[in-house]
Amino acid sequence: MNTVRLIWDRFEEGFIVFLLATMTLVTFVYVIFNNFYTFFYRVGEYFAERSVGVSEFFYDIGDVILDIVQTMTWSNALTKALFAWLIFFGLAYGVRIGGHIGVDALVKLASRSTQRFIAIIACIFCLVYAGLLSVASFEWINTLLQADIGADDLGHFGVKQWHIGMIVPIGFTLVFIRFVEILVRVIRHQQVGLGLADEAADAMKLSETEEHKK
């Protein structure tokens, strides 16, 4: 079980890195091409009165790059789709690593039994929220699946709207599973709070580390 969990954790991290890297690469290529063709046009203008053949050569290169840019309208749509996947897939990852604002800082001032009770109530609310959105988004995806509508600027690649939107129910389902895990750990006394990030405690630890270095 631990091996499966480790594999999933590594896949989760790797998939998030993949989404970020792909978004960056697509944007980088588009920006480069979108500005590169002007360079060849300027070089072509420079040689216009000196050598017509050389000038036409650089103009042709500029035209080719411009054609590529004009056909890359899909890059913006792809970046938006990847960003949507990053957000909804990252929801569960954020719960896992406690990547939240330290919302339970005040709760930690209470006794451990009170903290545990509040954590159970909070988990139940989070489970209800994630469960409702999971069911609603599954119904939404089913509607898109039946409509079989192509995604904007990506439809000619065979990408449908439901292909992009399916990450919504997947993301909330993963969030639901994460909070089930937290609830089980709290009930078993393996965990007190929700495991959310405590920024104040992190700041104190950092301060203590800096003092030791001095």
Residues in the chain, total:
214
Over residues 120-137, mean pLDDT: 91
Instruction: From 17, 44, 72, give the residue that closes a domain.
Output: 72
- Alpha carbon 32 to chain centroid distance? 24
40 and 116 both lie in a single domain: no
What confidence score (pLDDT) does residue 162 get?
92
Instruction: From 57, 72, 87, give the residue that closes a domain.
Output: 72
What confidence score (pLDDT) does residue 1 get?
63
41 and 98 both lie in a single domain: no
Closest CA to 87 of 137, 24, 16: 16
Q: Which domain holds residue 100?
A: 74-214
What confidence score (pLDDT) does residue 181 get?
87
Q: Give pLDDT tens digits for 152-206.
A: 888 888 889 999 999 999 999 999 998 898 888 888 887 776 665 444 444 445 5
Q: Please state, for a pLDDT cut of 70, what percent of the chain lies above it.
A: 83
Instruction: From 72, 88, 116, give the residue that closes a domain.
Output: 72
